[in-house]
Structure 1
């Protein structure tokens, strides 16, 4: 049976992955990706409990260059990047596959909720998981040549509770461990404070309405994202939304109506399903990490861009986040949403 290198964090997802792979007869090596924020002891404890070899790889330098720096630069430009989408192809899976090759393993595995399937044309497709925790959106930048060597043992499970139930039955001590933080390098969850601690915060400026009238002062544009309605601190006759972020003027535009768009463009296009794109195609599109899908006509453009024309307007397609295209649950591709006027 083929050897597998498993990204092992010590949490319930990766621990159960190890158990499921072992039950199928795979020799498994647990690899902890050390970001400098602790956790290696818990991962080592899980490996000892599972009876598998274990090692830790320091990824702080790669994380800083490939994830943290572009993440902070994005907020300074008034966009909202998603660090996990940077990290998965450039750091996490890249490092795990390097370690797999070093150890003579055929596959890497993680506890992500997604599904891979070998198709008749020989391409490995990436699919949504039936779980509400589906993470295919975060994985769309993994290309087929890497997907050929990726296993997601939890992909077909229908819920996180199913994972915990199986972990309890397997006697895993991680069964009731709390879920991990959303952004691994910001344990407190406050990205603006993280930037300010590094001296990369931006100065206060004006909140303005759509006519340019000053409504008050904002704390720095790195605190805000398109469509945001909480934490604005401005009194109005109704609920206010962030309609636009004007970086050059250091202004945040507020509106009583949420921003919507019916046509968006994306750049840095990733063709997860390489056979698509010669002609326009209809797809279900996610514009954020949620279960919502919106119908759209997708047209690939030159220079790694695509146009996405929705059947009806979508709320707050935030620049820097990703639009990901699906057909029948399969990830077709996606890209980073560009700045564009909202209705």
Structure 2
């Protein structure tokens, strides 16, 4: 019996050692290869086998161009989610700032450079309102940004009675068709935004403080962080980036539509969540958000190439969000 017990103990110890080695290997892979990146690679493999046009250079550039405005909005939305908030107004902010820009230029005769600055300033101001309502006003971010989303959507329609505005300067319309070192200018702007935000988030004390706020706001406040000011600043950045995305949309369409960007909210949140950010706050980053953007872009583009109905595409994105949230909860439990 002693021999059997000893043998059983050795077998159990060996089994536990193998399991521990396997877990360490999995953790090592997850550390150097994020889960969203593995998902992106798998999705690319699937669509490359289903369509011969998927991996062409032209199609890759199309993905970057089609997702540029969503990616810019997602950068701001990621900051908001990191602090434990939510911003439902980004699509409506895109629409109202673009319409203000076009209305001032066409109907009021204001120089286009000034109208552009006015649109960006309006986006930052709406973000400021969101921040003040959710911090000093103590209104839940979901409710506060839902209210501003409704107001901005109505204003976008009111400015021109719901009619689109055309007639932008030629140089502005050429922005989305220009290339820098062979790369679409839209993609260059997108990458620049992510690099700037990532630098602030990872290397500046005010950026690192956002993770503390999202992890535990009260502890962050007691440690000396001005949590209210930081949260307002994040919402201002999100509004500004939404207005910047509006300029990309206006340049691509060579027109301003009052409903532009309104349907992008689901994609923006999906990009951030699939990229690994936790809706509870305190985690996330620009690298994961960019990978999430590529996943959504590849899904959209790949489904279009294999002739999946556009009405079914939001269903697939919805399932992707559910899967990402479930994986996030399992990771939190571990």
TM range (shorter): under 0.3
- Greater share of residues in strand: 1
Whose relative contact order is higher, 1 or 2, with alpha carbons under 8 Å and at least 6 apart? 2
Q: Which structure: larger Rg?
A: 2
Q: How high is the TM-score relative to the length of structure 1?
A: 0.25
Q: How high is the TM-score relative to the length of structure 2?
A: 0.25
- Greater share of residues in helix: 2
